[in-house]
Structure 1
Amino acid sequence: MDNIKDLERFKEHIQKIQRKYETAPPDFVLESLSGALEQIEKVFPRLFNFIFEFIQNAEDSEATRLRIDLSGNTIRILNNGRPFTEGDVEALCKVGRSNKAQGDYIGYLGVGFKSVFLLSDSPSVVSNGYRFRFDKTYWVNKLGDKAPWQIIPIWDDELEPPPSGWNTAFYIPVKPELIGNVQLAIRQEEFNNRIILFLKHMSTLELSDPAAMYYRRITKERLDSGAQYESYLVTDSVTDGVNQKVSSNKWVVFREQCTVPEEVRTDPVTVHWKRANITKREVSVAFRLDEKDDLTPEERGTLHMGVFSFLPLKDVESPLSFIFQADMLTLPGRSELQRDARWNKWILGQVYALITSKCIPAFLSHPVWKYSFTTVLWPGGGGHELVSHQVAEPLRRYLTEQPLYIAIDSVPIKLSDAVYVSPEWRNLFGASEVSLIYPNKKLLDPKTKYPPELNWYIIRIESIQDVVYAARQYVSKLPNDKRVAWLKKLWDHLSKFKPEDYVNLLRYSALFPDDKGNLYMPYQIFKRPKRPVDLPDEDLPPMLHQDFSELIPDSLVPELTEENARSLLSKKKLDKIKEEWPTLSEDEKVKRVRYLRDKFSKHAVQPGELGFLTLRSKSGKWLPPTELVISREYQTEMDLEQLIQDGLLDIPLEFVDPVFLSNERAEDWQEFFSSLGMVTKRSNRIGKIVQRIAVLSSLAYEKSRGWDAHELGESEVSGYDIVSKGADGTIRKIEVKGSSDIEPNFYLTSNEYQKLKNIGKEYYIYVVTDALNRPKVNVIHGPDILDIQPSVFVVFSQWKPLVKESWSYKAESKGD
C-alpha cells in the first residue's frame, strides 16, 4: 500500500497543476496548446503510432519489459522502468519541454504521450503513487469546448495500481469507432522485431489482444559482447488463434558515440528540431547471423527511424543488406527524411565511419566473418536517396578499392590484386601456378566471398576459356622438362568434357607437346601415323607426345596421313615466302596474301608466323597490318572514309586496298585482317576513333543549332569534353560518350559522376550511337541520370527514355 503521506503529496501536486490551468490567463493556456498542436502535427501523421511512443518512453525509463494489452475497449500499457517523478508528471502537462537531459534523450515524454489523444478521450496514468487521468468530457463540461483538457490532470483514487512486477501503468479507453483500427495497430506490419536490437535496456516486448486470441512476445537475449560489438538472440513468438509461429535470429550490433560538430549544431534545421544543445549522438549497425553463426544478408535492409528520434514510425528503405539506427530529422508528418538537413548528412556519415572504422576491422579479425562480410556490406540499388549518397556510394568505393579480401596466405588484399580459381580447376592452378602466371597477384582463398558486381575487377579462372588462357601463360614460362607433366594433368581434366566444349578454344593455343616438351598449335602437330607415310624427313611435321594421343580428340590433332600432309604449309615453304617477300612484285604479293589467307582459313598457318607480311593501302603504300584500317569494301557496316569526308573524323588513317578481294566473302577477310592486328570494328584500338567521331559529331550538332561550342584540351578540365554557349548566354558542359553500337550502355568515371553532381543543371551527356557508320547524337540532361541511376554504369533501357534531343549528321546534311 502506498504511503499515505506520499499519496497526499502526489495528489496535491496533481491538483496544483489543475488549479494552475483553471486559473491561468488565456495566453498561458494558448501558448501550451499551440506547442502541443505543432509537435503533434510533426510526429503523429497516423493514428496509431502510440505503440512506438510507449516503447520509447519505456526505454527512456530504463525498463527491461513492456506489455501492451487490449482488453475490451481499453489498452493497458505496463513497464517496469523507473517510476514517475514530479518532473515526468510536469512533462505530461506541458508540451515541448522535458526534465531529461538532451544529450541522453530526445523522446520527449510530454510530446509523445499526446499521441494517445488521437484515439482516447480519457487516458490515465498510475506510477509511483501517482493516480491521475485526462478527461475531455469533464473539462469540456466545466470550461467549455476550448478547454485544454489534454494537459489538465485529474486525480483519481479509483485507478488500479500496476500488477506486481510492474512500476508504471497506462490505461487508455479507446474511442468505440477506433477499436478495429487499434486491433490492426497491435498487429501492424511495421512493428518489426528488429526494433528491440536498438533498445539498450529493453529485453522483452509483449502485445496481446485476448478477444482475438492474439499474443506476441519478442525477447532479446545477450549472447556475447566485446570491445567492438555485442551479439544477441532475438526470438519472436506469435500466437494467432490456433496458429503459433516462433522465429529466432542472431544479430551482431556495433555502436558508436559521435561528437556533433559545431556547424551541425548551429544549422537552422538542427536548431528548429531542438538539437542545438546536443553534443553527442549514438549510431548503431546490426548484422544478422545464419545458423552457422556466419554473417548473412538481411532481406529487408533498412534504416530504423530513430528509436531515440521521437518515434520510430516506420522503416525507411535503403539499398543495404543490414540495418542501422540513427537519429534522423524528418519533414513535418514524418513521412520523409529531411534531404538537405546538415544533421542528416552528418549522422549518415557517422554510420559510414562506424562501418569502416569499427565493423570492418572486427570482421577481418574474426575467423569466419572475414571471408563473407563484403557480400553483406555490398549495397544494392534503390532505397532512399540520402542513404544511397551518404552511405551506399562511399561504401561501394571502399569495398572496391581497399584490401579486404582474404588471399590463400590469409593476408587481406585488394580484389584487383586477386585471382579466383573455381573448385574444379584448383588442382591445376594453386598458389605457385598463379604467382608464376600473374607475378603481382595472389590466389584468393577458396572460402573468400565477394560481391558478384565486382567480377570484372578480379581475374577468374572458371570457364574452359579462362583455363585455356591461363594454361597458355603458365606453360610458356615453364622449362620444357616440366611442361609435359603439367599438360598431362590439364588434358586429363579436359578429357572429362565433351570435345565441342573446348575444341574451338584450343585451335590457336600452343598446348600440344612433342616428346621433347616443345609446344605447338594443333594445326602444326599430328598424332603418329598407324601406317608409314611417304614424305621426306624434312617435310614431316612435329609428332604429338605419345602420352596424349588418347586424351586429345582427332578433331583437334588428327593422325598424320599422306592426304593431310599434302595440305600442310610446311615450315620450309613459309620460310621461302618470307625470304622472297621484299623482292616480290605487287601482283605476286597479292597472290601470296590470298594464298596465306586460304591457309589461314584451313588452320594451316597462324597469325604469329606472318609478322613479315605487309599489305597495300589505298594510297599505294605497303604497310604492316597494324598500321592499316579495314576499308568499307571489306566491312560495309563501318564507313570511316565517308566520315572523314564529312568532317566527323580528323585522325590520319591508311585504309587497306580492296585489291586482295577475289571471289571470297568479305567476312573471311575481316577475320584474317583482324588476326593480323588491323583496325576493324571490333578491334580494341577502334575506341579512340569512336570517341573522336563522337566529339566531332557533338560539336557539329552544337554548330547546327547556332551555339558556340569548343572542345576542351586535356589540360583544361576533366569531367566533361565540351563547353557550349547559346545566344542567350545559356551554358552547356557536355560529357561525350561514343559507341559503335546502336543501343549501347555507358560508364561515367568517378570524376565525371562527381562533376555531374556538382555542376547540376548545366551538365549534359551526349551519347553518340552507331559512330562508325551513321553517328546519331542523343542529348541527355545530366541531372536526369541521378534520378534513375545513382552509380557510374547506365544501361540503354535506362538512358533512352531520358533523351530530350537527337540529331543525325547525315539526316541533317541530306535533308531527310
Structure 2
Amino acid sequence: MATFASAAGATTPKEHIEHLRRSKFSIGGPPNPLTEDLHQAVKNLSAELYAKDVHFLMELIQNAEDNEYPEGVKPSLEFVITSRDITATGALATLLIFNNEKGFAPRNIDSICSVGRSTKKGNRKQGYIGEKGIGFKSVFLITAQPYIFSNGYQIRFSEEPCPHCNVGFIVPEWVDENPNLSDVKSIYGSEAALPTTTIILPLKPDKIYPVKQQLSSLHPEVLLFLSKIKRLSVKEDSEDPSLSTVKAIAISSETNFAMRKNIDAESCMLHLSAEESPNESGSQCSYYMWKQKFPVRPENKVEKRMEVEELLITLALPLEDRPCRGTYSPGIYAFLPTEMVTNFPFIIQADFILASSRETILLDDKWNQGILDCVPSAFISAFSSLVKTTESAPMSSLPPMFRFLPVNVSPYQKLNTVRDCIKAKLIEKDITPSEPHTEQKLFHRPLDAGRLVPAFWSILKEAKEQGVSLHNLSSHGKFILCSSFDSSEYDAVLNFLVVQQVGHEWYAKFIGSSNLIRGV
C-alpha cells in the first residue's frame, strides 16, 4: 500500500492532493513566490509538447512498459474507446486505458504535478525506455482533461490554466463523480476487478479520427521487444459490434525457452499471437531472438546516453509469415516500432535515438551509427547459431534458413552499408553445406562452393540409386553445394553469396576420375 508520510502529514490520497494544491500551487493557502516561475515553465512545456509530432499511442505503451508490476502478474495494457460521455465534458468519444501495474504512489503523483521532474530520469540502465521527458503529459495532445484513477487517487488535470493559480497541465483536482467507478466498470466489461490504474481521456473533437486510426493500425509485433508487457488489447465499447469504428485486436507474447546463453549473447524462441475477432483463429508467428552485447566505443558516445557502457542489439528472425495489420512491417525498433521498412528479412532492435515523431531513427546520429556498425557481427553470430541448431536435422532443413540473408537492397543507404558488411563477412564464413557422402554435415566458404547444372544432378541421382560412389564429388577444387540447396528457388540467395556454377574443367575432372559412365 502506498505511504503518504512524505506528504506533510497527509494520510490519504485525497489529503495528499489537497496538500499539493495548497503548498505548491497556493490554492487555499499562503501565496507561493515560485508560482509565477511554475507558470512560465508550464508555458514552455506547452510550446514543446505541441511542437512535436508525437505518436501518442506509442508514448502510452512506452509509459506502461516503464511502470512497475507486482510479482506473479502478467503485465497487460488494455485500450477501450467509447462514445459514452462518462466525464460529462461533452466528449463525443473517450479513450480508457487499463493497466495492471502496481499503481501510483505519492512520489509518482508529485512527479506528474511537476515540470521536468521524472522518477525515471538517469535510469536508462534499469531498462526504462522513455526518452523525451514528456511522459504522461503527452496525453494533452489528444485530451484537454485527462483523468487518473489509481491506488485510491481519483484526479484530473486540465490544459486550461487553473482559475485559482493560473497554471495549467500540472494542477491536480480531486474527482468525486463524472466519472464514477461503476461507469468505468461497465465499460471495462469484465467480471474481474478493475486493473490498478485507469486513465480516462475524453478526446478532443479533432483527435477522435486520428486516435481511432492509430488504434486500428496497431501492429501485432508491438510486443516483440518489450520486456514487461505481455498482453495488449484494443476494443470499442459498442452495443452493436457491427457499428464499431475501431478494429479490435488482442496481442500476447510468450518467451519459450533459452537456447543458448553466454557472457555476451543469448538466444530464445518467442511466440506472438494476435486475434482480431473472437470468431477467427487469428495469426501466430514464432521468432528466433538473438541478443548480443557490444561495448560502446568512445567515438559513438553522446550526451543522451553518456551513462551507457554497453549496447544490447536484438535481432528477431521470423520463422513464419510475419503478422501484418496495415500496410507495412517495420524493420527497425527502438523497443517500439518505427515506420522504417528496411527490406531485410529480420528485425533490428536497439536503443536507437529517434526523431521526435518516432517514425525513424536519426540516421546521421553518431550513437545510432555505433549501433549499426555492430549489426553485421550480431547477424553473423545469430545466423551461425541458428544454422547450428539444425545440425541434427536432415540436410533439407538447412536451405530455408538462408532466407534470413539480406538479399534485397534497402531504401536506406546506411542500411545498405550494413548489408554490404554482412555479405563481406558471410562469404568468409564456413556456412554453405556441401553434398554429403557420409552422415556428417560439412560447411565451407561460399567462394569455395560450386553449383551443378540440373541435368547433371539428375545423372548423379540415378548413379547414386545404382550404387555408384560419389565420395570424390568435392575433390576437384570445389566443394559441391548440397543438392537440396542447389535449386532455382535459392538463386537470389546463392547469387548474394557469390556461389557460382562450376566450370567445364570440373565436369571433365570428375567424370574422368569416377566410374560414373560405367555405373550409369
> Cα deviation per residue 1:144-189 (whole Å; 9 max; x = unaligned)?
xxx441122222243556862512110111123432332222102x
Distance 1:335 1:10 in 2: 38
Question: Are residue 84 (structure 1) and residue 104 (structure 2) matched?
Answer: yes
Q: 2:273 aligns to what?
A: 235
Which residue of 231, 240, 244 maps to 1:204?
Answer: 231
Q: Which amino acid aligns with 2:248?
A: Y
Name the CA shift for 1:88/1:359 in 2 (closer, same or farther; >3 Å): farther
Q: Which amino acid aligns with 2:63?
A: N
Q: Which amino acid aligns with 2:480?
A: L
Q: 1:773 aligns to what?
A: none
Distance 1:2 1:278 in 2: 32
Question: Are residue 65 (structure 1) and residue 92 (structure 2) matched?
Answer: no
Q: Following superposition of structure 1 onto structure 2, how do residues 316-331 of structure 1 map, counting pairs within 5 Å?
A: 316-331=340-355
> Cα deviation per residue 1:707-760 (whole Å; 9 max; x = unaligned)?
xxxxxxxxxxxxxxxxxxxxxxxxxxxxxxxxxxxxxxxxxxxxxxxxxxxxxx
> Cα deviation per residue 1:189-245 (whole Å; 9 max; x = unaligned)?
xx21112111112221110113343421111133332223221221111139xx846
Which residue of 323, 332, 337 maps to 1:304?
Answer: 332
Distance 2:506 2:4 in 1: 89
Q: 2:315 aligns to what?
A: 285
- Between 1:449-458 and 1:340-349, the stretch displaced more is 449-458
Cα pair 2:377 2:422 within 8 Å, conserved: no
Name the CA shift for 1:442/1:397 in 2 (closer, same or farther; >3 Å): same
Q: Which amino acid aligns with 1:166?
A: P
Question: Are residue 413 (structure 1) and residue 438 (structure 2) matched?
Answer: no
Name the CA shift for 1:4/1:301 in 2 (closer, same or farther; >3 Å): closer
Cα pair 1:264 1:346 within 8 Å, conserved: yes
Cα pair 2:338 2:360 within 8 Å, conserved: no
Cα pair 1:318 1:388 within 8 Å, conserved: no
Q: 2:494 aligns to what?
A: 454
Which residue of 342, 345, 356 maps to 2:366?
Answer: 342
Name the CA shift for 1:401/1:484 in 2 (closer, same or farther; >3 Å): closer
SS at match of 2:461: coil
Q: 1:670 aligns to what?
A: none
Q: Which amino acid aligns with 2:214?
A: A
What is the CA-CA distance between 1:122 and the residue it aligns to?
0.6
Which residue of 219, 222, 229 maps to 1:192?
Answer: 219
Q: Following superposition of structure 1 onto structure 2, how do residues 320-399 of structure 1 map, counting pairs within 5 Å?
A: 320-367=344-391, 370-389=398-417, 391-399=418-426
Distance 2:310 2:116 in 1: 20
> Cα deviation per residue 1:30-73 (whole Å; 9 max; x = unaligned)?
235425643663xx415xx2222221121112551110000112
Q: Which amino acid aligns with 1:349?
A: D
Name the CA shift for 1:135/1:38 in 2 (closer, same or farther; >3 Å): closer
Which residue of 14, 17, 22 maps to 2:17?
Answer: 14
Distance 1:95 1:257 in 2: 35
Name the CA shift for 1:98/1:279 in 2 (closer, same or farther; >3 Å): farther
Distance 1:433 1:129 in 2: 78
Question: Are residue 135 (structure 1) and residue 135 (structure 2) matched?
Answer: no
Q: 1:472 aligns to what?
A: 508
Gaps of 5+ in 2: 27-31, 70-74, 84-92, 186-192, 261-265
Q: 2:203 aligns to what?
A: 174
Distance 2:164 2:407 in 1: 59
> Cα deviation per residue 1:454-474 (whole Å; 9 max; x = unaligned)?
33833437xxxx8x7654333
Name the CA shift for 1:476/1:300 in 2 (closer, same or farther; >3 Å): farther
> Cα deviation per residue 1:85-129 (whole Å; 9 max; x = unaligned)?
233223323344422222221315951222211111110112222
- Between 1:165-174 and 1:153-162, the stretch displaced more is 153-162
**CA RMSD of the aligned region, Å?**
3.5
Q: 1:715 aligns to what?
A: none
Which residue of 27, 30, 41 maps to 2:37?
Answer: 27
Distance 2:474 2:25 in 1: 85
> Cα deviation per residue 1:270-304 (whole Å; 9 max; x = unaligned)?
32xx322233443211111139x9xxxxx966433
Cα pair 1:301 1:322 within 8 Å, conserved: no
Cα pair 1:39 1:96 within 8 Å, conserved: no
Cα pair 2:250 2:274 within 8 Å, conserved: yes
SS at match of 1:58: helix
Question: Are residue 445 (structure 1) and residue 501 (structure 2) matched?
Answer: no
Q: 1:219 aligns to what?
A: 252
Q: 1:526 aligns to what?
A: none
Q: 1:424 aligns to what?
A: 458
Q: 2:290 aligns to what?
A: 254
SS at match of 1:198: coil
Distance 2:101 2:42 in 1: 28
Distance 2:277 2:379 in 1: 37
Q: Which amino acid aligns with 2:98?
A: L
> Cα deviation per residue 1:517-567 (whole Å; 9 max; x = unaligned)?
xxxxxxxxxxxxxxxxxxxxxxxxxxxxxxxxxxxxxxxxxxxxxxxxxxx
How much identity, in percent, do the aligned residues show?
22
Q: 2:305 aligns to what?
A: 275
Q: 2:189 aligns to what?
A: none
Distance 2:133 2:21 in 1: 16
What is the CA-CA distance between 1:354 and the residue it aligns to?
2.1
SS at match of 1:201: coil
Name the CA shift for 1:460/1:40 in 2 (closer, same or farther; >3 Å): same
Q: Which amino acid aligns with 1:284?
A: T
Q: Following superposition of structure 1 onto structure 2, how do residues 153-172 of structure 1 map, counting pairs within 5 Å?
A: 153-158=172-177, 160=180, 164=193, 166-172=195-201
Distance 2:517 2:4 in 1: 100
Which residue of 300, 305, 314 maps to 1:264?
Answer: 300
Cα pair 1:21 1:29 within 8 Å, conserved: no
SS at match of 1:416: helix
- Between 1:106-115 and 1:394-403, the stretch displaced more is 106-115
Name the CA shift for 1:333/1:204 in 2 (closer, same or farther; >3 Å): closer
Aligned residues between the structures: 450
Q: Which amino acid aligns with 1:11?
A: K
Q: 1:804 aligns to what?
A: none
SS at match of 2:248: strand
Q: Which amino acid aligns with 2:16?
A: H
Gaps of 5+ in 1: 294-298, 490-816
Distance 2:10 2:36 in 1: 31
Cα pair 1:77 1:169 within 8 Å, conserved: yes
**TM-score where L is the length of structure 1:** 0.50
What is the CA-CA distance between 1:16 and the residue it aligns to?
4.0
Q: Following superposition of structure 1 onto structure 2, how do residues 45-60 of structure 1 map, counting pairs within 5 Å?
A: 45=53, 49-60=55-66
What is the CA-CA distance between 1:398 and the residue it aligns to?
1.8
Q: 2:263 aligns to what?
A: none
Cα pair 2:4 2:13 within 8 Å, conserved: no
- The structure, 1 or 2, with the larger RCO (C-alpha pairs under 8 Å, 6+ apart) is 2
Question: Are residue 400 (structure 1) and residue 427 (structure 2) matched?
Answer: yes
Larger radius of gyration: 1
